[in-house]
Structure 1
Amino acid sequence: MTERIVVDPITRIEGHLRVEIDIDEKGIIKDSFSSGTAVRGLELIVKDRDPRDVWAFIQRICGVCTSTHALASIRSVEDALGIKIPRNAHLIRNIMNETVFIHDHVVHFYHLHALDWVDVVSALKADVNETSKLAQSISTWPKSSPGYFKDVQNKVKKVVDSGQLGIFANGYWGHKAYKLPPEVNLLAVAHYLEALDWQKEIVKIQTILGGKNPHPHYVVGGMATPIDINSDNGIHAERLMHISQVIDEAREFVNQVYIPDLLAIGSFYKDWTYGGGINNYLSYGDFSTGDHYDIDKYRFPRGVILNGNLNEIHDVDLKNPEHIQEFVDHSWYEYEGKNEKDGLHPWDGQTNLKYTGPKAPFKTLNKEEKYSWIKSPRWKGQPMETGPLARLMIGYAAGKEDVKNVVDSTLKKLDMPIESLQSALGRTIARGLESTLIADWIRDDMDELLKNIKNGNQVTFDRTKWDPSTWPKSAKGVGWIEAPRGALGHWINIEDGKTKNYQAVVPTTWNATPRDLENNLGAYEKSLIGTPLLDKTQPLELLRVIHSFDPCLACAVHLTDLETKSQTKITIG
């Protein structure tokens, strides 16, 4: 006897996600499926446009992941046209993407995901002296006095007493699945508030190097970053030193606040090893210490791991139609002239909307039919998980020394085996560990950039092949990047100097994919199965698992129909 539970929408994510689960009489999730419930526009809007302009449109896929889409788009054009960029431009792009990672991971942990593990209202019961002792025992962060935590506690009390919980509204406070003592809850709440202020500072790196944030500027051929240490109109010495200072402050926050909190909270949930999922991991690789196309020099290596087997890493070829395909047999699209059993490589991709779902209002969707606006990408027919856990698992399997050191030392502190990382808790830990790695890399990349500038190299842009008259009649390229949520690829077809076809396959498309014809579940769906719910009316455990992926549905559903050069109107009911 099973019971269907529907959570729609899943909150504390970007976009619109519906999750339906079947639970047995003991509250164990026996089946699940996820549905992207909103369709929006972008992907086809770039058709027939100048490829050099596409990035400015395509980064509007999402308001959170703006610069990652811009960079993937720029790289797709450069790959198609064989453009190599100056070393400084590569370093600036690395620094800007590393900034996104650190900002995104900290914000996700404190403001989107921590509340699945932290009981905010319980913080009112905390002994501030004990919280202070705890804070000082795990970190040298200066804000750790009893008076400081008392002030935080009073702020929370005012909010609770007002009856208007504001930013802490709609939580399952008091839920039996919460395990933290009040003192740890108070510590986490205090740093939640600090992170709100901190995150405003780190984005200044993108503002300086990219002109603004969000939607910073890029350019095919490098960066439009005017470095001139002697000019008030360029990126001069003072601004470079400010970036360097912000990097040091970010590293301190990650290492003295984020990681200690993560380990302190994680130590109380070591037995919560649910949410592992498919155990197939995908990374395109990124952050090269050489050129972007020097794949062997990637700090995050490229590859695929199947069934959690760390003894073998499979190759990934983004240009091979046998490696990457998207299917629509359970998605509200149709492939013109194709059997729905056939997948399409993104270079041949189609985005033809065809809603066949139930009319509103409806209680449940039919998972045997089409049930999502998200397509089903596959690597050699296999569903994949991508993101921080995938990158760490592949880096660990590849023997990357810095990855192995941070993973092994953390698991030793928590007294957990590496297999335990294949869980919602492990996914959350991986995001934090990745932040420590990237905090070191951004320092290294900034130091190299400063050294180049000091030695007289201020070049950030190369005009070679900028003139369309030098381009071939037709060209195809793929731009790949590791985004905070995982492997991101943009594929472009250029013909007669214009964009003929454009497709983006994003991390959440991989993770939130619906079933395929072989009934292979996607990462979200598979990760929920076997998870127990202590209270079916408050499915906190479901949120823990889904939030551990940091969903971005706005990225996953990003198309429009421009056949008539007008907006497509979707009406349900």
Structure 2
Amino acid sequence: MSNYTSAAVPESSRVVIDPVTRIEGHLRVEMEAGDGVIKNAWTSTTQYRGIEVIACKRDPRDVWAFVERICGVCTGTHAIAALAAVEDALQYPVPIQAKLMRDLVSGALGIQDHVIHFYQLQAMDWVDVVSALKADPNETAAIAKSLSDWPLSSATYFAGVQKKLKDSIAHGQYSIFTNGYWGHPAYKLPPAVNLLGVAHYLQALVWQRDMIKIHTILGGKNPHPNFLVGGMACAINMNNDQAINQFSLSYLKQLVDTCHDFIHKVYYPDIVAIAGFYKDYAHIGASNPNLFCTGDPSEINTGAPAGKGMIKPGVLLNGDYKNVLPFDQDKIKEFVTSAWYKYTEGRDAGLAPYDGQTDADYNGPRPPYKWLSDRPQYTWVKAPRYDGHAMAVGPNARMMIGYAQGVPAIVERVDAACDKLGLPRDNAFMNSTLGRVYGRALDAMINVDMMVDQLQEMTNRIKNGETATFNPEKWEPETWPSSCKGVGWVEAPRGSLSHWVRIENGQTVNYQAVVPSTWNSSGRDAEGQMGPYEYSLAHTGTHPLVDPSRPVEPLRTIHSYDPCQSCAVHLFDEEGEAIMTRQDP
């Protein structure tokens, strides 16, 4: 019997954000608020999508190209998870050079995603653009130079940025900065730091254009690079200008080095500097005290040891952030108690992803609607649970687990950040709104350092004659078992991503994607447990919301997860048939 009850909330205390902007997909947040705080919250993914149905009854070697289109933001990530799932099912080994190429594509995506998330999608929650007009460019330059030796840090440069901003606003053209809550009392940065934030926002736009070239070199294009079951679709040949050659390697090194400098000299220092003005958010917005990551997915799928400096798969439960428990994928089940789907076993049942059913059963009101959560079902997102626990995933989960595992590069930087923020030296603060923002920047630091090593290893192996990027051993279906299943794990920018596949007689017969934003944006389960978004806003009853008409505080918390609701929802059933019903109120 379900312990979930729907929300009977007086209209006078209802606050709705719909849509939450500066995210991928459609997310609605309903809150009960009063006295300057949030008392309860429900998050609803209101978009309905069905791309995974295309995977069923299809050749498993083609599936990656279709499910890669689940999202255009985390482009490539779903493809790599799909490849790993099929290769796991077929026990299909991949050449080391292909794995290094995939790692470089994933690293480039993750770093680009983190930078775009902060500057283009979340910085305006913390940076008051209009306040930057009052800044002294000389003061901004002094602050910038105290953080790093990044070249674009002169007073002249910042004065130029400020003039462009003034000229635009003077003509009533806020352009990309339209509809901000400028002047809100929750903004705490001084004008000089706000100007620094605006300038680096604009620099990040230019920087990310170059970053995606790594995808075009190794994957042929961006978005949606090309891949291949059993390896990569690009060849290595020093004497062929259509393959990876010396010019390609030199250009890759230039791009990786430029990326390294931007992360180390702009992004990470900005986060640490801005965090110093928002220390209270280290105690606001904690998710459920349960987190996991899969680290290097090779350890899950093959038992291979984690790579150099890599985080190993692990679980943190019940607020014990020091002791990492083993990760067991067989403990994952998905529930539909609060979702617009039905299970043959009933809404309160939990199904393992291999046995997943995703049959739509919409019973909500006809849009437009004023309130969704007064009904038991209020979202298109399932509720994944690990051994019955609501879990949070993401860069902060990776960094918290890496810290508990004693990964030196993580421990040293987290301890330094804690010292600067006046916090105890441990990983607990990263389970917070501020911690998620910081964890993403630290994740980018770890990733870009690894990319430098991965590219060097790839180059060294080429010098030693290792040029294979494809293994033909199990390409032909005649070599496959008649029935098999597999799962592919990837630590995506937003957290642990898994694709689950069943293959019979050479065809895909069932396919499930359990993605980071499904874990984080899930609604209540049969036990009434909130998902991480909801928990972060409502579990203490003290999350600030000073002005319901300008809800910058809850947006800071929701944006800190970097929601991707296009990834979070899916639709198909075991036979690959779409089903949808509607019951009007």
TM-score tier after normalising by the smaller chain length? over 0.9
Q: 1:367 to 1:458 in 2, by over 3 A?
A: farther
Query: CA offset at residue 412 of structure 1?
Result: 1.6
After TM superposition, give the deviation of residue 310 of structure 1 in Å: 2.0
TM-score by length of 2: 0.94
The TM-score, its normalising length taken from structure 1, stands at 0.96
Secondary structure, counterpart of 1:300 in structure 2: coil
**Kept after mapping to 2: 8 A contact 1:481/1:488:** yes
Matched to 2:46, the amino acid is: T
Cα distance in 2 for residues equivalent to 1:14 and 1:395: 28
Residue 340 of structure 2 is matched in structure 1 by: 332
Q: 1:353-403: CA deviations, max 9, x gaps?
A: 110112223211135500000000000011000001111111111122222
Identify which range, 285-294 or 148-157, moves more after superposition.
285-294
- What residue in structure 2 maps to residue 439 of structure 1? 448
Alpha-carbon RMSD: 2.0
Preserved contact between residue 364 and residue 583 of structure 2 (Cα < 8 Å): no
Q: Which of 195, 205, 217 does residue 186 from structure 1 map onto?
A: 195
1:559: Cα distance to partner?
2.3
> Helix, strand or coil: the match of 1:389?
helix
Matched, 1:457 2:466: yes
Q: Offset at 1:563? A: 7.2
Q: Shift of residue 295 of structure 1?
A: 4.7
409-418 or 356-365, which deviates more: 409-418
Alpha-carbon distance in structure 1 between the residues aligned to 2:445 and 2:374 = 40
* 1:48 and 2:60 are equivalent in the alignment: no
Kindly indicate whether the alpha-carbon contact (under 8 Å) linking 1:51 and 1:497 is maintained by their aligned counterparts in 2. yes
Aligned counterpart in structure 2 of residue 469 of structure 1, from 459, 464, 478: 478
Q: Is 1:285 aligned with 2:295?
A: yes
**Corresponding position: 1:543 with 2:573:** no
Q: Give the gaps of 5 or more residues in structure 1.
A: none
- Kindly indicate whether the alpha-carbon contact (under 8 Å) linking 2:510 and 2:575 is maintained by their aligned counterparts in 1: no
| Correspondent of 2:521 among 507, 512, 517 | 512
Task: Indicate how the Cα distance of structure 1 residues 365 and 289 shifts in structure 2: closer, same or farther if over 3 A, else same.
Answer: closer
Letter in structure 2 aligned against 1:328: V
Tell me which residue corresponds to 2:418. Answer: 411
Aligned to 1:166: 175
Matched residues, number:
568
Contact 2:301 2:488 in 1 (8 A): no
Task: Tell which deviates more after alignment, 263-272 or 241-250.
Answer: 263-272
Query: Which residues of 2 match residues 22-421 of structure 1 at below 5 A?
Result: 22-24=32-34, 26-272=35-281, 273-286=283-296, 293-297=303-307, 299-318=310-329, 320=330, 323-336=331-344, 338-417=345-424, 418=426, 419-421=428-430
Does structure 2 retain, via aligned residues, the 8 Å contact 1:72–1:488?
A: yes
Shift of 1:283: 0.7
Letter in 2 for 1:351: T
| SS across alignment from 2:484 | strand
Distance 2:436 2:65 in 1: 32
Whole-angstrom distance in 2 between the partners of 1:342 and 1:499? 25
In the alignment, residue 343 of structure 1 is paired with which amino acid? Answer: G
1:329-372, Cα deviation, whole Å (9 max, x unpaired):
11000112x12221110100011011011222321113550000
For 1:106-152, what per-residue CA distance to the aligned partner results, in whole angstroms no more than 9, with x for missing partners? 11110001110000111000011111111111110111111110110
Secondary structure of the residue aligned to 2:217 is helix
Given that 1:562 and 1:568 are in contact with CA atoms closer than 8 Å, whether structure 2 keeps it comes out as no
**Counterpart residue identity of residue 70, structure 1:** A
Within 2, Cα distance between the matches of 1:134 and 1:288? 43
Moved more, 183-192 or 394-403: 394-403
Comparing 176-185 with 224-233, which one deviates more in the overlay? 224-233
CA contact (8 A) 2:297 2:489 kept: no
The range that moved more, 441-450 or 409-418, is 409-418
Matching residue within 17, 30, 36 for 1:7:
17
Paired residue for 2:4? Answer: none
Shift of 1:567: 9.8
* Matched residue type, 2:323: E
Counterpart of 2:506? 497
Query: What are the Cα deviations for residues 26-75 of structure 1, in whole angstroms up to 9, with x where unaligned?
Result: 12111001000010120111111000000000011011112110000000
Which digits, 9 at most, give the CA deviation of each residue in 1:235-267, with x for residues without a partner?
Answer: 110011100110000000001111111111111
Query: Cα distance, 1:565 vs. partner?
Result: 7.0
Q: What is the rounded CA distance, in whole Å, between the counterparts of 1:563 and 1:426 in structure 2?
A: 42
Q: Residues 263-301 of structure 1, C-alpha deviation per residue, up to 9 Å, x if partnerless?
A: 111111112221012121111222769997525447122
* SS of structure 1 residue aligned to 2:29: strand
Give the whole-Å Cα distance in 2 for the aligned partners of 1:572 and 1:195: 46
